[in-house]
Amino acid sequence: MPAKERILIIGACGQIGVELTLALRKIYEPQHVIAADLRDEHPLLKDTGPYVTLDVMNREMLHVLVIRHHITQIYHLAAILSATAEKNPALAWHINMQSLIHVLEIAREERLHKVYWPSSIAVFGRGAPRQRTPQHTILEPTTAYGISKLAGERWCEYYHERYGIDVRSLRYPGLISYKSSPGGGTTDYAIEMFQAAVENRKYCCPLAPDTHLPMMYMPDAIRATIELMEAPAHRISLHSSYNIHAFQFSPAELAKALQHHAPGFEVCYQPDFRQQIAESWPESIDDSQARADWGWKPAFDLQTMTSDMLANLRAHQHQA
């Protein structure tokens, strides 16, 4: 019953948050979808619904906000992503974990209807098969970010089993988008490569040419998130986090796809610390449980995503 729900999106000005907020404001009464972030309001969110400045690390501030706005669902997107986390692992652990505990505790105290919290392919590490990585396999992440995501998944399941909280989660792959900038991930290179191709600049990639990673176009990720959250409870068998997959590519394959549209586009390779992160992650993901449980199916493949990204980036370039 959308009319009765009041939704809080924490981290609403980030790469996912902007598009998710806009999508939820199309489904629900925009006044009932509260966007919150540490940063100033993103320009694309202006005049589309309520915006509040929030530091999710401040539990009291979060609690007051939830009570004041009669919040029934939280989407908690604020986090430190993989590349940034490796620069300050202890801070990343603190922010990623403590913020989730704040959200789960308030969900318990205020009996929220649902919580959404994203996990990542970063939960996989040594020992997991790298092709079609299964839902249930060895989970031994070697990055600070991956360790925080794995612990987060365990907490989500714990709060579901112990307190009955309807927590739902997806293990996103690298997300590709043009509306809002990415925030410090290892997979951000793909978006940077698109931008360079459109601006006729040479791009120096921080990953080696043959490093395959699972990726997804943002419209699919937003649709997956909303479909998961709107699915009836009996269709949700996992309250840790679901594998989802769309396509995979390497920097060399993306460069080739871009050169098809932008002949003469040049790429050089200078792998840095992000190479080690990428090598610890899967190359492709088995998402059969998400497909069976709540009907997940991606709409975009590498070719259709590439054409759509380029068309939108070029349209933005002409408007600027």
CB of 8 within 8 A of CB of 71? yes
Bridge partners for 37 per DSSP? 53
Closest among 54, 42, 47 to 15, alpha carbons compared:
42
37-45, 130-138, 265-273, 312-320 -> range binding ligand NAD (CB under 6 A):
37-45
Q: Give yes or no: 269 in active site.
A: no
d(CA 163, CA 287): 27
Q: Give the DSSP per-residue string, 59-116.
A: HHHHHHHHHHTT--EEEE-----HHHHHHSHHHHHHHHHHHHHHHHHHHHHTT-SEEE
DSSP annotation of 49 reads S
Shortest distance (Å) from residue 307 CB to ligand AKB:
22
CB-nearer residue toward ligand AKB: 14 or 173 = 173
Residues in 133-172 that interact with ligand NAD by CB under 6 A: 172
Shortest distance (Å) from residue 10 CB to ligand NAD:
6
CB-nearer residue toward ligand NAD: 23 or 266 = 23
d(CA 113, CA 74): 9
Q: 78 contacts which partner out of ligand NAD, ligand AKB, none, CB within 5 to 8 A by kind?
A: ligand NAD
Shortest distance (Å) from residue 56 CB to ligand NAD:
4
Q: 77 contacts which partner out of ligand AKB, ligand NAD, none, CB within 5 to 8 A by kind?
A: ligand NAD
Hey, what amino acid is at 62? L
Q: 214 contacts which partner out of ligand NAD, ligand AKB, none, CB within 5 to 8 A by kind?
A: none
Annotated active-site residue in 75, 145, 172, 217 = 145
Q: 123 contacts which partner out of ligand AKB, ligand NAD, none, CB within 5 to 8 A by kind?
A: none
Is 111 a binder of ligand NAD (CB under 6 A)? Answer: no
Shortest distance (Å) from residue 212 CB to ligand NAD:
16
Helix residue ranges per DSSP H, the chain: 15-27, 59-68, 82-87, 89-109, 144-163, 189-198, 218-230, 251-261, 273-279, 288-294, 302-319
Q: 186 contacts which partner out of ligand AKB, ligand NAD, none, CB within 5 to 8 A by kind?
A: ligand AKB
- C-alpha to C-alpha distances, 234 to 61, 166, 169, 230, 250, nearest whole angstrom: 34, 11, 15, 11, 38
Residues in 218-277 that interact with ligand NAD by CB under 6 A: none
Bridge partners for 75 per DSSP? 9, 116
Q: Which residues are marked as active site?
A: 145
Which residues lie near ligand NAD (CB under 6 A)? 10-11, 13-17, 37-39, 54-57, 77-79, 81, 118, 120, 172, 174-175, 182-185, 187
